[in-house]
Amino acid sequence: MAEGRGGDIVSEFLGQNPHLVNWVESLRGHCETNKQWDARREFVLRNMEIFPTIRPGTPSPSLDRLLSLSMVWANHVFLGCRYPQPVMDKINEMAEGITVNKAPGRKTRDEIMGKTKRPAASAVAADCQVKKNKPNDTDLKAPVKSVACPAASKVKSGPPLGAPAEHQPFFNRLYKAIAWKLVSAGGYGPNLEHFEILRSCVDSCKASLSCVFVPLKDIPDLPSGRTQKEGQVCELRCHAVYMGTGYGRDKCAARAMASKEALKVFQGRKVTVKVCRRRFRGLDVEDLVLLDEQLRAQVFPPALIYPFQGDQ
Q: Does 104 reside within a domain?
A: no
Convert the pLDDT of each residue in 293-305 to its tens digit. 776 667 888 888 8
pLDDT the model gives residue 110: 52
pLDDT the model gives residue 212: 92
- Give the DSSP H or E segment for 280: strand 272-280
CB 96 within 8 A of CB 204: no
pLDDT the model gives residue 304: 87
Q: Does 209 reside within a domain?
A: yes
Q: Does 14 reside within a domain?
A: yes
Q: Give residue 11's domain range.
A: 6-94
Q: Does 1 reside within a domain?
A: no
Q: Does 55 reside within a domain?
A: yes
Convert the pLDDT of each residue in 37-50 to its tens digit. 999 999 999 998 88
pLDDT surpasses 80 at 106: no
**Could you tell me which residues come within 8 angstroms of residue 232 by beta carbon, excluding any fewer than 6 positions away?**
213, 214, 215, 216, 247, 248, 249, 250, 251, 253, 254
Q: Does 182 reside within a domain?
A: yes
Work out the pLDDT band at 99, boundaries 50, 70, 90.
Answer: confident
Of the CA atoms within 13 Å of residue 130, those in its CB half-sphere come to 6
Tally of domains in the chain: 2
% of the chain with per-residue pLDDT over 70 = 75
Q: Does 291 reside within a domain?
A: yes
Distance CA 91, CA 199 (A): 25
Work out the pLDDT band at 221, boundaries 50, 70, 90.
Answer: low
Distance of CA 8 to the CA centre of its chain: 23
**Which of 39, 65, 94 is the last residue in one of the domains?**
94
pLDDT the model gives residue 299: 81
pLDDT the model gives residue 27: 92
